[in-house]
Amino acid sequence: MNGPKTTKQRGINTQLTHGGYDPRDFHGFVNPPVVHASTVLFPDSQTMRTRNQRYTYGTRGTPTTDALCTACDELEGSAGTIAVPSGLAAVTVPLLAFLSAGDHALFVDTIYHPTRRFADTMLKRLGVDVEYYDPEIGAGIRALIKPNTRVVFTESPGSNTFEMQDIPAIAAVAREAGAVTMMDNTWATQIFFRPLEHGVDISINAATKYQAGHSDILLGTVSANEATWERLSDAQLTLGCCAGPDDVYQVLRGMRTMGVRLDRHQASALEIARWLEGRPGVVSVLHPALESHPGHDLWKRDFSGASGLFSFVLEGDAPEAGAFLDALEIFGLGYSWGGYESLAVQVSLSDRTVSARDFGGAVMRLQIGLEDTADLIADIEKGLAAAAALR
């Protein structure tokens, strides 16, 4: 837990390499120490009474968590960042911080399914009025705002189907109404989109993904602007929801190379997405950086890049999808993404309500890793051939 650091703006890879920790603060060692802590001792009773020292208890931060959170603040332009044990916790903690019984909350219909599950179960049980909106609503969200609307929750591009939202327009309407805008920014990371610069109050990242980068860590970060930071920080302390020091250290280490990894993820994914367009058996490709994508203009206006995750629509249904997946050798069949390896999965869209539509086939999500694209294309070709054999 920390505040903003004012430094001369540097290139993104320079920020990633040096952000959050000065080696001169700890004997010149390049990486920060991993501090395992619960109890922190005070020098005397007066200091203990007033808590007049930087660290007072493990849940309230350590030099390790400060290093990560300060690095995030520098990337986000935020007033403060918290680190929590998972990406889902990064969603639930701010929602619990800003919603109470009787409040109304708006969620984009294309959110990450566990976020929707939390909204439909826990929030409703706590007395929150949950409503979903179409991702393409833009400033039209004004028609859904109620006097008791407290939170507008966004995710752009949409989970699995990659619809783009007009985030600045939505955030402006929410601010006029006194509502807090939250954004799950995991797909773009702080490198390709800075939510707070577009009117968002709270930026959420599943650092499990690109920040950690190696499919072996669970962690989330939540970065807030000045108006919301104190309440977010207080909620984390009240809930006791803090990340462990070893995971924090590993995520910070992963962030040092996130820029160069994302360059590769982006280039490979876009090459493969373009190759897939027009292939036999491929109905459409859902990648916002493609000119054919309905939200391409919004992506181009607001985002500076794209990550390695996108979907395509495979002609057919479950049998064809199963044949495609089972024929793959390099792509792993698994959930999550953002690691160094490529993954594939058929996604379910059964939870969609106001934005439900028929995509014309099975929606297949690809996480493009760091392998050679020629090998990945050859692997996908085998999958397409296996699916075609069933038609």
pLDDT tens digits along 256-273: 999 999 999 999 999 999
pLDDT of residue 25: 86
Q: What whole-number percentage of the chain has pLDDT above 90?
A: 91
pLDDT of residue 1: 40
Question: What fold, for 12-256?
Answer: Aspartate Aminotransferase; domain 2 (3.40.640)
Mean per-residue pLDDT over the chain, rounded? 95
Pick the more confident residue, 76 or 2.
76
- Which overall architecture, per CATH, does domain 258-388 show? Alpha-Beta Complex (3.90)
Confidence band of 21 (pLDDT split at 50, 70, 90)? confident
What single DSSP character describes residue 57?
B
Cα 182 to chain centroid distance, Å, stands at 11
Which tokens belong to 302? 């607001």
Which tokens belong to 42? 């005070």
Confidence band of 8 (pLDDT split at 50, 70, 90)? low
* Domain ranges within the chain, ordered by starting residue: 12-256, 258-388
Q: Which of 325, 76, 77 is nearest to 189 (CA)?
A: 76
Report the alpha-carbon angle 340-165-286, nearest 5.
50
pLDDT of residue 48: 93
The amino acid occupying position 165 is Q
Confidence band of 10 (pLDDT split at 50, 70, 90)? confident
C-alpha–C-alpha distance, residues 163 and 305, integer Å: 15
C-alpha–C-alpha distance, residues 238 and 248, integer Å: 20
Interval 211-261: pLDDT, tens: 999 999 999 999 999 999 999 999 999 999 999 999 999 999 999 999 999
3-state secondary structure (DSSP) of residue 284: strand
Distant-in-sequence, close-in-space partners of 87: CB < 8 Å, separation ≥ 6: 186, 204, 205, 206, 207, 208, 209, 218, 219, 220
Confidence band of 30 (pLDDT split at 50, 70, 90)? confident
Q: Which of 366, 335, 332, 353 is nearest to 88 (CA)?
A: 335
The amino acid occupying position 79 is A
Interval 334-388: pLDDT, tens: 999 999 999 999 999 999 999 999 999 999 999 999 999 999 999 999 999 999 9
Q: Is the pLDDT assigned to residue 291 strictly greater than 70?
A: yes
Cα 32 to chain centroid distance, Å, stands at 25
Query: Model pTM?
Result: 0.94
